[in-house]
Amino acid sequence: MSLMLAEMTWPEVERAIAAGMTTVILPMGATEQHGPHLPLGTDTFRAASLTEGLSGALPEALVAPVLPVGCSDEHTGFPGLLSLDHETLARLIVDCGRRIAAWGVRRLVLLSAHGGNGEALELARTRLQEQASGLEIRILTSSTALSEAFAAVAAAAGISPDDVGLHAGEGETSEMLHLRPELVRMDRAAAGYAGSMSEVMPRLRAVGLRGVTPTGTLGDPRAACASRGAKYLAAEIDGYRRTLATEADPRFEVVAR
Ligand SMILES: [Zn+2]
C-alpha cells in the first residue's frame, strides 16, 4: 500500500490509522531562485526526496503532498519567486493540522527543505498546541540537518563549508545532480558569494540575497557531483531520523511520565 495520501483512498487511510499509522509527514519546499544553474523548485524536489527517505525509516508515517510554496521573500528581486507571508503559511499548516488531527493522527512532522519557513513553523506549532492539543508537532528544518555527518561528507571530499554554501552552492547542486540531473545547468554554475556563510547571515536578513549576491548563489557549486549529493541527502535523512528519535516534545514527555 502506498503511504502517499494523494495516492490512497479514504478506506485505506482509515485502515492505516486503525493499524497504528498515526504520524503524518507534511513536506514543505519553495519556489524561488537557486542561482543561474538550478531550477526554482529545487527545495521542493529536495523536500520530496528527504521525506521519501525519512518515511522509509518511519513505518507508522503517512506522507502528505509537498507544499511547493513557502516563505521566500529574501529572494525578492529575482524573477520566478512565489512566496507567502509567515502568517499565511502558519495558517495553512494550522488549518491542515486541525483536519489531520480530526481523522486520528497523533503526530504531525513538519519537514521543511527551505530554511525561510522556520518562523512560520514555530508560529504554527504554538497555535496547533492550543487548537489541536492531542497532536504532537515535530519540526525538521534544513538547519536541523546540518549535522556533523553532512559536514563530514563535505570534509572527506575536501569541500569547505563556505563552498558547500547556504544556497545553490556545492551542497544543493550536488543533491540536484543526484535527484534531477536533467534540470541542472552545470555550464552556468559559477561561484557566488564566497565569504563566510556564518558572517553573511545578518546582511541577508537586512538586504536579502539580491544585495549580497548578484547571481543568487551563496557558495561555489562548481565542484558539485551526484554521488556526493546522494551522501548529503542520506546524512540529512539520518539527522532527521535521529532528531525524531531523541528530541521528544516536552509536553508529551510529561504525559508519558
Ligand atoms: Zn534551496
Q: pLDDT tens for residues 68-111?
A: 999 999 999 999 999 999 999 999 999 999 999 999 999 999 99
Q: Average pLDDT of 189-194?
A: 95
Ligand 1: distance of its center to the CA of 15 in Å? 36
Cα 246 to middle of ligand 1, angstroms: 26
Beta bridge partners of 218: 167, 193
Q: Are 163 and 151 in contact (CB under 8 A)?
A: no
**pLDDT single digits (tens) 50-79:** 999 999 999 899 999 999 999 999 999 999
Looking at 5-9, 65-69, 244-248, which range is the least confident one?
244-248
Q: What is the mean pLDDT of residues 12-30?
A: 97
Residue-range domains of the chain with CATH: 5-248 (3.40.50.10310)
Distance 243 CA to ligand 1 centre (A): 21
- 221 alpha carbon – ligand 1 mean position (Å): 13
Shortest CA distance to 88 belongs to which of 119, 60, 63, 111?
119
What per-residue confidence (pLDDT) applies to 14? 97
CA of 111 to the centre of ligand 1 (A): 14
**Highest mean pLDDT range out of 86-90, 150-154, 158-162?**
86-90
Between the CA of 168 and the centroid of ligand 1 the distance, in Å, is 6
Given this model, what pLDDT does residue 253 score? 37
Q: Mean of the pLDDT values across residues 222-251?
A: 86
Is the pLDDT higher at 16 or at 198? 16
SS3 state of residue 136 = strand
Task: With a cut of 70, say whether residue 1 has pLDDT above it.
Answer: no
Q: Give residue 201's pLDDT band: very low, low, confident or very high (50, 70, 90).
A: confident
Q: Ligand 1 centre from 47 Cα, in Å?
A: 10
Whole-angstrom Cα distance, residue 66 to residue 69?
Answer: 9
Mean pLDDT across the stretch 232-236? 94
185 CA → ligand 1 middle, Å: 15
How many angstroms separate the alpha carbon of residue 125 from the centre of ligand 1?
Answer: 23
Residue 246 has a pLDDT of: 79
Q: How far is the CA of 24 from the centre of ligand 1 (A)?
A: 23
Closest by CA to 167, choosing from 140, 139, 144, 200, is: 200
Cα 131 to middle of ligand 1, angstroms: 31
Secondary structure (DSSP) of 68-115: -----GGGTTSTT-B---HHHHHHHHHHHHHHHHHTT--EEEEEESSG
pLDDT at 250 exceeding the cut of 60: no
Q: Which amino acid, residue 182?
A: E
Q: What is the pLDDT of residues 101-151, one digit of tens each?
A: 999 999 999 999 998 999 999 999 999 999 978 899 999 986 654 567 788
Report the separation in Å between the CA atom of 192 and the middle of ligand 1, taken as the mean of its atom positions. 14
Q: How far is the CA of 10 from the centre of ligand 1 (A)?
A: 33
d(CA 176, ligand 1 centre) in Å: 10
Task: Pick the range with the lowest mean pLDDT from 131-135, 156-160, 243-247.
Answer: 243-247
Amino acid at residue number 171: G
Ligand 1 center to residue 107 CA distance, Å? 26
Compute the distance from residue 31 Cα to the ligand 1 centre, in Å. 9
CA of 6 to the centre of ligand 1 (A): 24
Tell me what pLDDT residue 248 has.
58
User: Helix/strand/coil (H, E, C) string of 11-33?
Assistant: HHHHHHHHCCCCEEEEEECCECC
